[in-house]
Each structure stands twice: as structure tokens, then as C-alpha cells.
Structure 1
Amino acid sequence: MTQPQSAPPSASPSPSHEPAAGPARRWPMVLGGLVVAGFIVTVLAIIFVPRRDVSTDDAYVEAHNAVIAPRISGQITDVEVDDNQFVKQGQVLATVDDRDYRTALDDALATLARDQAEVVDASATVDRQPSLISEQAAQVQALQARTAFSSADAKRYAHLASTGAGTAQARQLAETRWKQDAADLAGARSALAAAQHQMDILKAKHQASIEAVSADQARVAQARLNLSYTQILAPVDGMVGARSVQVGNYVSPGTTLMAVVPMQKLYIEANYREVELKHVRPGQKVSIHLDAYNVDLNGVVDSVPPASGAAFAPIAPENATGNFTKIVQRLPVKILVDADQPLANLLRVGFSVETTIHTDFADVVGAQRNSAAAVKLGHE
């Protein structure tokens, strides 16, 4: 005979467990509320709480490239550098055919030598002219003496002829000699005056020949310069880029052949929003993060620009027409990379970087308010 089974215990929860169920259901709501409140506080802090450091990822490596272009026309006979090659200042980059320019220099030198000989000739002529003037003056004096004698002689024969002691023929011969001597004297005086005026002409010609030599010397100097321009030199130390020239190309003045990037003078152009520049001044330290190699560098604020990027745009924005939406502008702050950083050699123009300026809450507004002059935000 089997014993009757006892009734199973009730599955209903004990009344003693009911109070703990309420808090267990409320803690997710409390946690969610705390997260939302924290997010709101963080956003408000970002918007309203001043920050000692201002950062941007709208920053790039820049450089003032040296564009290499010939100053003369001609055919390229040699290109001595290749893409991405380091060059030193004064190193020959390319050579233009120099035969025409050597011929022009030889012609200028020959013209200079000819005109220098003319200067010597003109100088000798000027030096000789005083002797010719003295000769003409002596001739005048001799003719004056002869004319005086022939004049007196003509008077004597005229007196003798009037008294019957002399013949009319003798009187006529004496008068003829006197008139001839007087004419010769007038001619000698004219020749003396012409010789004296000739001195001024010769001096002017001598000066003109000197000026011609000066012009020839200038042409020789220009010919030498043009000949020197056949060797295209590197203006700065740097790396060759954007090479487009090849041997055999015919180039004209201003034709871009390549560029030389001064790798030791790279800088950062960080585009900061205008509202972030309240405490930014030159000389402040900057942390630079190089995206390409994931390394950090140090720098310093060089200057704050005079205008925003939009002010220098080819097509400037026209805010005076149509509907207007206010847009916070960005200004390209120039940042220099500190020297003596080995990792700085990794920088290349165009690399993206992230910059953080440590402003230390510099009071730019207060400094300007207390000064009549402009606060230094750039170079003087």
C-alpha cells in the first residue's frame, strides 16, 4: 500500500522577497539619467568653459617654394638633378645652350675695344688742338706786322706819287700788297677763331666717346650676365620637386622647370576658428601631432594673419546680397617647428597635422585695451 504523496510546496514568492524587487528595477533608469546629465554637462562645459589649450585638425605643412625658371631663352643641354634630390644653394640644376651668348659677349667686347681706341684718338686730338691754336695765333701776329708795314709803305708811295717823286705804278703795287696783307690777316684771324671753337667740338666728341665706352661696358656686363644665366642655379638649400624639364626642351624666360623646397624652413599653417583666437599670441608653445607617422613635435606660434582665408579667395564672398547665414571664419595661424628635432626631418609639404596651442589664457584683449599701439600679433 503506497503512501499518499504530500502536496507540492507553493511556487508563489515569499512575502519577505517583495520589497527588494522595486530598487532592482529603478537602477537602470538612474544610470541612464546620470549618463544624460553627464553628457549635458560635458557639452555645456565645452561650449562655455574657457580652455587653456586650443586645438584643430585643419592644419597642414607648408613651405615657401622656390620656383626655378630661366631668365633667358634657349635649348636645355643638360639637367643635372633628378626628382626628390637634395641640392645645395648655388648648385647647377640645368644648363642652357650658351653658344649664342658667348658670341654676343665677344661682339660686345670687340665694340668696347673699338670705342676705347676712339677715346684715345679723341683725347690725342684734344691735346693737339692748343698747339694748332698757338700756331694760328702766331700767324695772325706775323700778318699783323706785315700788314702794318705794307700799310705804311702804301702811304709813302702815295705821298711820293702825289709830289711827282714816285710813279703811279709803284703806288698801285704798294696799295695792292697792303690790301693783300690785310686780307691774309682777316683770314688768319678767322682761322684762329675756328681753331678756338674747334676745341669745344673736340672736347664734346671726346666726351661722347667716353659715354660710348660706358655704354659698351654696360653691354659687356649684360652679355656676361646673360652668359651666366645659361647655368640655372639652386637659390636655396632644399629638395627638388615638380621637375618638368628635359634635355632638348626649348625654354623661354619664366618657364617653370622645377621647384626647390627648403626642407629646413617648413612651417605649419593651422586654420583656427576666429572664436578660438582670443588668447593666442606669437611665442606661445604648440604641440604638433604628425598624422603620417603618428609622432609628436614641438613648435611655437609665429604670427596671426592679417585676414581670414576668405578675404584672399579669388572669388570673395558677397554677404551684402541675398539671404545671409553667419559662418564662423578661420584664420591660418603660422606655426614654426622647433629646431633640433630629428623627427622634424620627416615633415613634407602638404602633410596633415593636428596642432594644440598652449595659450595659458593670455589676456590679448586686456593688453590691447591698455595700449594705444597695436598689440604684436605678427612681424614688425
Structure 2
Amino acid sequence: MNAPRPPAASTPTPSAPRQVEDHTRLEEPAEAPADRAEAAREDMPVEARTSAPAPPPPPPPPPPPPPAPPAAAPAPVTAASTGWAPPRAGLTGTVATVVLALAGVLVVLYAWRLPPFTTALQSTDNAYVRGQTTIVSPQASGYVAEVPVQDFQTVEAGQVLVRIDDRIYRQRVEQAQATLEGQIAALDNSAQTRRSREATVASQVAAVGNARAQLARARADLQRVDALVADGSVSLRERDQTVAALREAEAAVAQARAAGEIARQDVRAVTVGRAGLEAGVEGARAALALAEIDLANTVVRAPRAGRLSEVGVRTGHYVTAGTQLMFLVPARLWIIANYKEAQTAAMAPGQPVRFRVDALDRAELTGRVEQLAPAAGSEFSVLKADNATGNFVKVAQRIAVRIAIDPGQPLAARLRPGMSVETMVDTAGGPRTAPAPANGSAAEPGASAGTPGTGAAPPPAAVPASGAAR
């Protein structure tokens, strides 16, 4: 909108009304001087337009007006304007303290599984996968001739693992065989000697009989000579010859008896010698068997099926009896969980178990309680604590619990001895029937739950479940 213009007859100074207009109407834009001059000429009469001199040049535009002051901010809302008063600081602090204390108590009760957070699940992360890991060692010494297996290879029972140079052991077998043959020959010779000695004994027995016959004849001759000497038919000389013959016959009998006894002693000596030779034969046979065993021990075989560890022997190494060559890990595994003594109050063989394996991305598998250890772990330590002297600090003992792995779980094949697991025993589940033994989870013979003579304690009476603190 344009501002009102002055009358055409007068030519007032354009600066004064423009200044007033600028102060009263700050919101309108300033009008150009040329436009105002043109408008004034249109309002003037025609005569005035022609006779009137040209208007002077317009003055320079005035400076822009100062900016308008900012609008005043609204008055703030205060407690006095609303009528509300804040609570006292002491009451707020008390409420916060009580809330924090209750929260802390609840956290402690939950962490220790105390009422009202009591649970029948007893858990611990002090648990590991176990297996009957076997150290493979040779029984013979020598240089390694061949290693036909590799690291982490799966092997069967009886498969060849290492071969040791057997040339020396073969020679020992041949030597033992020759010794045995010599002992057998000596035994046969002893039998022949015995037969010869027995024949000598028979000959001496016959000689004794002959001597006795000669003695009887000599005695008869002496009787006849004595009768003839009495009537003077035979001289005393002839009688003396007859007596001498009798004495010779008696001596011959004694000699024959002595020779027979010597022959019998020779037979006994041969018999005793034969027993020694028979023992020698048995010793030679045992030596041959030992040599053959040593020869067989030059081939190290897998005692059972499983997987090998890193093979620590190479061709050309010299090994002795008992040298650790490698480890053999069988497929049958189980879990040993070390629970606090207070957690085992309601545990019994057969109760269900769930466990998570760290190496399998916390995958969950199932099992069952198989056995509880007969004593705390401290009882099996070499240095036992002596609490009879000094200050006593009660320390919760750990009871080892053996857990069998249920069969039919694909992830169970990926378990390895030494893996860490977290076990959870459901003490409220009660004992359940043991599953059929399977590869990877079979129990030892006689170690099933409830079998007499296995050392497992009977299920205890039901008691409130203790805390499941790890």
C-alpha cells in the first residue's frame, strides 16, 4: 500500500513527510524516489506540468531503520504460581536406600538359589569331558623302521601303528630255538642212559644169584669134607681148601650185591638228571616264547579303536621300552562334574542331566547321573589339610559326579576329552532307567546305577534342594 501523497500545487520538501512516514509505518517497504516524482507529476494540472520547472534530483535514500527489539519471553512457571511444593530431600533418600537394599537382597537370594528362588536344578561349570585316554608305548627297544599312521587318524583295534627294526630279535628267536633243540637232545640221551643203567642193574642181580649158588655149593662141600675128615678118609689140607672155597663164595655174593646197589644208584642218578634235563627243556621253551614275544613287540598295534593324537615318533628314531609315542583316545566318553557337597544332598544315580558344551557354541545335550564319588576330592590329594591345629576356615568340598552321555545324539560325536561343560542335574526328576549302552556313552561293566557292588550309595531321602551356586 502506498502512503498518501501531498497536494499537487505545493512542492513541499519531500524529506520531512518521508521521515514521518518511515517512523510511523516501519512495516511497509520504502518507495523509490523516481516513482514518487512520477506520481506527483500525474497529480499536477497540465499547465503546471508544462510551466513548472523540473523537480530537483531526489536526495539519497535514508539509512535503513534500526531492527525492532525482540519480543519479551513468557514468564516461567514457578512452584508459587502452580501451588505445588517438592517433597523433602530426606524422605526421597530413605526410599531410594530401601529400594536399593531390597534389590541387593533379591540379587543375593537369586544368585544362591535361596527361597523364594529355590530350584531343583543343581548346576556347575566345574565339569569336563573324560575318556580312557591310552598312552601308546613300545615294549621293545630299537630303531623305528616304519610309522604307517598320521596325526589324528582314526584307527581300529589291532591296527599297526609303529614298526621297530626286528633283525636282532629274529636272531634271538633262532638262538632260543637252537637252545631248545639241544635240551631236547640231552633229554633223549638221558633216556638212553637210564635204559643202560637199568640193564646193568639186571645183570648185577643175576651175578648175585650166581654168587649165592656158589656159596651154597661151597657149604655143601664143607659138610661132606667134615664127615670124611672124621673117619680119616680126607686130609685136613683138603678140608682147608674147602673152607677157603666157601669163604670165596661168600665174598662173591657180597661183591655181587654191592655191584647191584651201584647199578641201582646209577639208575637213580640218571632219573634225577632226566628231571633236570626236562626242566632245561621247559626253560628253553620259555626262552623261545619270550624271544618270540619280543619279536612280536617290535610291531606296536592299537590296543582299541579310537583316534590318535599327534604322532611323536618318526622313522629312524631310537625308542626304548616305555617311550611315549602317541595317545589313543577311544570313542567312549563321559563327564566328571565336581559339585559342592551341599549340592549333592538330593542327587542319586539315574537322575536326568542337561549339559552345555562351550566348544559347540553352548549346544545342549542330555545324560544321566551314573555314579557319585566315594569321597571328596581332598581325600585323594597327596597333601591333605590338617584342621586339628591353627585357625579353622570352612571350605566347601567338591564331590565328583560321573555323568553318562545319552546315545543317539549327533553332537555327541564331536565331544573330546578335556572339553569344558556346564552341567545341570534335575534332582526332582528322580532316577530313570539307564539307556541301552552305545558307542560314546556306554558305562563300564558293573557300573550301572543300582547294581550291587558298584559302590554307588542308595538314593537319599528327599531334602530341600540346596543352592545351585557355581
Which TM-score applies when normalising by structure 2?
Answer: 0.66
User: Cα deviation per residue 1:165-209 (whole Å; 9 max; x = unaligned)?
Assistant: 556765555454444333222211111222233333332222222
Partner of 1:246: 314
Distance 1:87 1:376, change over 3 A: farther
**1:285 equivalent among 352, 358, 375:** 352
AA aligned to 2:364 is D
> Does residue 1:195 correspond to 2:277, yes or no?
no
Contact 2:354–2:423 (Cα < 8 Å) also in 1? yes
User: In the alignment, is the contact (CA less than 8 A) between 2:350 and 2:430 conserved in 1?
Assistant: no
Number of the residue aligned with 2:109: 44
**Do the aligned partners of 2:351 and 2:430 also contact (CA within 8 Å) in 1?**
no
Structure 2: which amino acid aligns with 1:79? V
Contact residue 336 and residue 400 of structure 2 kept, 8 A: yes
How many aligned residue pairs are there? 363
Q: Give me the whole-angstrom Cα distance separating, in 1, the residues matched to 2:456 and 2:418.
A: 33
Partners of 1:60 and 1:44 in 2: CA distance:
28
**2:324 maps to which residue?**
256
- In the other structure, the counterpart of 1:216 is 284
Say whether the 8 Å CA contact 1:279–1:362 is kept in structure 2.
no
Deviations 1:239-281 (A, max 9, x none): 112532222332222222221111x222222222222222222
Give the structure-1-normalised TM-score.
0.80
Query: Greater helix percent: which structure?
Result: 1
Once the two structures are overlaid, the 10-residue window that deviates more, 175-184 or 151-160, is 151-160
Matching residue of 1:376: 458
1:58 maps to which residue? 126
Distance 2:409 2:426 in 1: 19
What pairs with 1:30-41 in structure 2 (closer than 5 Å)? 37=102, 40-41=105-106
Give the equivalent residue in structure 1 for 2:462. Answer: none
Structure 2 distance, partners of 1:196, 1:187, is: 14
Q: CA deviation at 1:52?
A: 1.0
What secondary structure is seen at the aligned counterpart in 1 of 2:346?
A: coil
Q: 1:280 to 1:218 in 2, by over 3 A?
A: same
In the TM superposition, residue 129 of structure 1 has moved relative to its aligned partner by 4.3
Q: Aligned partner of 2:344: which letter?
A: L
Q: Which residue of 1 aligns with 2:151?
A: 83
Q: Does 1:108 align with 2:196?
A: no
Greater Cα radius of gyration, structure 1 or 2: 2
Partner of 1:336: 404
Matched, 1:118 2:200: no
Q: Which amino acid aligns with 1:296?
A: E
In structure 1, the residue matched to 2:450 is: none
Report the equivalent of 2:371: 303
Aligned with residue 205 of structure 1, among 270, 273, 280: 273
Shift of 1:100: 2.4
Give 1:299 shift.
1.4
Matched-pair contact (CA < 8 Å) for 1:267–1:334: yes
Asked if structure 2 preserves the Cα contact closer than 8 Å seen for 1:279 and 1:361, the reply is no
Equivalent of 2:162, from 89, 94, 114? 94
| 1:14 CA drift (Å) | 10
Shift of 1:360: 0.7
Note the C-alpha offset of 1:298. 1.2
Q: What SS does the aligned partner of 1:292 have?
A: helix
Once the two structures are overlaid, the 10-residue window that deviates more, 12-21 or 287-296, is 12-21
> CA separation in 2, counterparts of 1:192 and 1:105?
46
Change (3 A) 1:243 1:374: closer
Deviation at 1:10, TM superposition (A): 7.3
- Of the two structures, which has the highest relative contact order with CA contacts closer than 8 Å and spacing of 6 or more? 1
Q: Which SS does the other structure have where 2:360 is aligned?
A: coil
Report the aligned-residue RMSD: 3.8
Measure how far apart 1:157 and its partner are: 5.4
Partners of 2:79 and 2:392 in 1: CA distance? 68
Percent of aligned positions with the same letter in both sequences?
32
Which residue identity lines up with residue 124 of structure 2 in the other structure? T
Structure 1 unaligned segments of length 5 or more: list them: 364-372
Pair 167,137 (structure 1): closer, same or farther in 2 beyond 3 Å: same
Relative distance call for 1:65 and 1:15 in structure 2 (3 A) is: closer
Q: Which of 283, 301, 305 is the equivalent residue of 1:233?
A: 301
* 1:141 Cα deviation after fit: 1.5
Distance 1:46 1:14 in 2: 47
